[in-house]
Chain A
Amino acid sequence: MSRQPHSIDELQDIVSRLPSTRNEDWKYTDLASARDISSRWLAAGRESLSLALQDEVEAVTHAIDANWIVIANGELQHPVDVNGASRLDDAPSSDTALAELNAALLKDGLRLRVEDALDKPIGILMIDGTEDASVSQAYVEIEFAPGASGEIIEYHASKGDADQYANTIVSVAVGDAASARHLRVQNRAAHHVQTGHTSVSVGRDANYTMSGFDLGGGLIRNDVIIDIAAAGAEVSFDGLYLAGEGQHIDNHTRVDHRVGPARSRQEYRGILNGHCRCVWNGKAIVHEGADGTDADQANHNLLLSEKAEIDAKPELEIYTDDVKCSHGTTVGQLDETSLFYLRSRGLDKRHATQVLTHAFASDLVARMPVDAAKEALATVVEHRLAELLDSDPDTFS
């Protein structure tokens, strides 16, 4: 199937249909900047010179020992010498404007099939960097064959002062009795925009574990949709978002339990400092007949600044009775007695805060499913956390 060419008008039309805040799922996240960047880029002829990205690519690929595939500004970098990886011409068309945009503007899609047990993680680095405002698309399909097991690292990065909007779609199919471990790191430049959609289907007795880390970016929206359509599935996912001055990070998750027994659990944690806003919306839907479902959601937030805002919404929709579902959400500050304890031991406020926020974040780093990346990730998280604490001068005044 060859890709349908789209006229500028058709493309502008898709851009104008990107979700607005009138849509309940987008109530707290305004994609005006994504529409604006896209529309300017389309009007300017869809061309933008690529920046040299070699240093940034090496910084990531050398730090984490994995078989890397690099997608730069939406283009697959050759050679791709990873078993089971191949280029895709097209992304499937879909009914959402974001998916339409992805399909219409996609340069290179990527398909990855894991046949048996991987001895080394496969890393996919999606990196953008251009001279002028630009828009990039990525589409990745990952399939774990029945009984296969392995680790996937999805790393998003960007460079440059020009406006950028990246729209990525990743779909993961975990076959029966397969075991997939997925690490997702988003560490874009401070003002860049990304909408990321991850959909996962989990087979019979399969196991899917994911950790997402949102460290950078300006306006970031992640959708994680997990579909449990076979019995015996075990799903576990975590997310950590660190938001500083000017950042907006929105995590929407949805788990569909269509068949039971199956288990899903998720825990998202956020640390917010400076003028920023984070959104967490976790939804678990237990469909009719999904007996023996056990679903658990947790979301904890630390607000360090008066200008930070968190909008949290843990949702449960349950259509059968043989279930055990729970959710818990907390919003608060650092425990004053803990702070006092550290201060009484001679730590200044900033240092004490760093120790405590580090502890808050480190649980999720420790639980992260890809061992090869643990050390590198811990360093990045620590660095980002220190940066975050210094981003709002008022916090320690």
Chain B
Amino acid sequence: MATESENIESLVNRRYEHGFVTDIATDSLPPGLDEGVVRAISARKNEPEFMLEWRLQAYRQWLTMREPEWAHVHYPKIDFNAISYFAAPKSDEDRPKSLDEVDPKLLETYDKLGIPLHERARLAGVAVDAVFDSVSVATTFKEKLSEAGVIFCSFSEAVIEHPELVQKYLGSVVPRRDNFYAALNSAVFSDGSFVYIPKGVRCPMELSTYFRINAANTGQFERTLIVADEGSHVSYLEGCTAPMRDENQLHAAVVELVALKDAEIKYSTVQNWYPGDENGKGGIYNFVTKRGDCRGANSKISWTQVETGSAITWKYPSCLLRGENSVGEFYSVAVTNNLQQADTGTKMIHIGRNTSSTIVSKGISAGKAQQAYRGLVRIMPQAEGARNHTQCDSLLIGKECGAHTFPYMEIKNPSARVEHEATTSKISANQLFYCRQRGISEEDAVNMIVNGFCKEVFKELPMEFAVEAQALLNVSLEGAVG
């Protein structure tokens, strides 16, 4: 028992490995938020009039909204005037045309993260739209994609180059006034990714964006919009790590997915932002709105997430199942350790006939962390033949952590079949003993059990991500197992 707890101690005390600040001068706006700031952001990005108008309306709506307080998380009030709403790397004027031109410091950053961008891109055939702070600085494989007719670019570029698509789809899934943070994002979003897959095209490669938050005190407000036209298919990977620092950083992203008839979007996330130190100091506030709209018949949207970072997570990737026979999926592994807090889950809104959804949520709570699964399954009266299966399991590690489940089920059609199962337990002494007496070390045994616990979700991840997800789990979770 003594060696076990020492082992655990050493693992628990392992430092966050991805914490460092890349030293690049940033061209930031001073802290504070008013209409002037919104106009300044829009002007710096040379946005057309409609975009500025959209932002201003969002800002005015945001002013009338109240911060949500229903989540099972506690944190000091955020001073929205202490945040700088725009930061861009200095070398903005002459943006690199290819990876070779990218600031070597940036590449070094990725190296430290263990994801050498060029290598990874070449080996894995992944096009990368790297968001370093707020402006995209490297986009690869553009040509190959444009051959297929796929548009994959930074959001700012899309606003200039494809205003008709942006105007048509922006805010059509997450309206400006959807919630407090979505409204804030709509007003001040700095950049993000835009993807359009034309009719009948299967995107030739997996698309990926690496997010990093870099400049201290800069909230990052990404906006991602993915439109999959009729009969198309795309898999999108999003991953992030962040440097270590003491002040809390606000991150309020909005992701909108639109799947038209017969289209399929697979959206995978590995999130490993700085969770704060063992005393709960620092760490990212991750208040994200992610929603997919299965607009056409037979469309499918699948969310897969591995959430290990952030001090506070408030995130509910959702699906609106409008099209007949459309399918929504949510696979999640969330890990909280030390003083991390997470309130995460999904919403499946069944509107069309014969729609189905699957929810698999695995929560692992360790140290003094608090984690909640919050989900909604709503079957509308017209959603004949809807089907949902939800499974949410929690693994508790330690006496002081918490795991909570708040699943809402609102069923307004009698032909619906809805099932919800949840379990909460710790790793049983019997399981551990069995492994130990087969000669497996304590740590390996716990690894095996935890990996087995998460298997259902990991197998949904694209291969490129599965390895990283396992590694992340090692850093953030195994340390606390006992």
Contact = CB atoms under 8 A, between A and B. Distances in A.
B422 interface: yes
15 contacts: A24-B70, A291-B399, A306-B381, A306-B413, A306-B414, A310-B410, A310-B411, A316-B422, A318-B404, A322-B426, A323-B396, A328-B420, A329-B418, A330-B418, A332-B416
Contacts of A93: none
A309 B410 contact: yes
Nearest to A308: B414
A320 B411 contact: no
Contacts of A47: none
Interface residues of B, number: 34
A306 B414 CA distance: 5
A314 B411 contact: no
Given A309-B412, A311-B410, A317 B418 contact: no
Contacts of B404: 315-318
Contacts of B406: 313, 315
Nearest 3 Cβ contacts at the A-B interface: A303-B414, A321-B396, A329-B420
Interface string B403-428: 11111111111111111111111100
A363 interface: no
A309 B412 CA distance: 4
A329 B419 contact: yes
A326 interface: yes
B338 interface: no
Interface of A, helix, strand, loop or mixed by DSSP: strand
A305 B413 CA distance: 8
Interface of B: 70, 381, 394, 396-426
Given A303-B414, A329-B418, A332-B418, 16 more contacts: A24-B70, A291-B399, A305-B414, A313-B406, A313-B407, A315-B405, A316-B404, A318-B404, A319-B401, A321-B397, A323-B425, A327-B420, A328-B419, A329-B407, A329-B420, A331-B417
Nearest to A277: B412
A327 B419 CA distance: 11
A332 B385 CA distance: 10
A313 B414 contact: no
Contacts of B398: 321
Nearest to A273: B414
A145 B426 CA distance: 37
A314 B414 contact: no
A135 B125 CA distance: 73
B425 A310 contact: no
A320 to B, nearest CB: 6
B422 A333 contact: no
B396 A320 contact: yes
A369 B315 CA distance: 44
Contacts of A315: 404-407
A323 B424 contact: yes
Interface in A61-115: none
Contacts, number: 111
A325 B424 contact: yes
A118 B411 CA distance: 44
B422 A314 contact: yes
A312 interface: yes
Interface of A: 24, 288-289, 291, 301, 303-306, 308-333
A321 B418 contact: no
Contacts of A330: 417-420
Contacts of B421: 326-328
B23 to A, nearest CB: 42
Contacts of B423: 325-326
B375 to A, nearest CB: 10
Interface centre among B404, B414, B420 (most CB of A within 10 A): B414
A316 B416 contact: no
Given A318-B424, A326-B424, A331 B409 contact: yes
Nearest to B419: A330
Contacts of B422: 314, 316, 326-328
Contacts of B407: 313-315, 329
B405 A316 contact: yes
Contacts of B425: 323-325
A331 B405 contact: no
A311 B400 contact: no
Contact of B409 (A288, A291, A310, A322): A310
B17 to A, nearest CB: 26
B416 A311 contact: no
Contacts of A306: 381, 413-414
Nearest to A280: B409
Contacts of A321: 396-399, 401, 426
B421 to A, nearest CB: 5
Contacts of A326: 421-424
Contact of B394 (A301, A310, A318, A328): A318
A141 B184 CA distance: 52
Given A317-B402, A328-B420, A330-B419, A311 B414 contact: no
Nearest to B390: A329
Contact of B411 (A303, A304, A328): A303
Contacts of B418: 329-332
Nearest to A324: B425
A308 B426 CA distance: 39
Nearest to A313: B408
A318 B412 contact: no
Nearest to A320: B399
A284 B163 CA distance: 51
Nearest to B405: A316
Nearest to A278: B411
B396 A318 contact: yes
B424 A316 contact: yes
A128 to B, nearest CB: 32
Contacts of B408: 311, 313
B266 to A, nearest CB: 28
Contacts of B403: 316, 318
A267 B409 CA distance: 17
B426 A314 contact: no
B42 to A, nearest CB: 37
A331 B418 CA distance: 5
A309 B411 contact: yes
Given A318-B396, A327-B405, A304 B424 contact: no
B105 to A, nearest CB: 44
Contacts of B394: 316, 318
A314 B406 CA distance: 7
A316 B404 CA distance: 5
B414 to A, nearest CB: 4
Contacts of A333: 414-415, 417
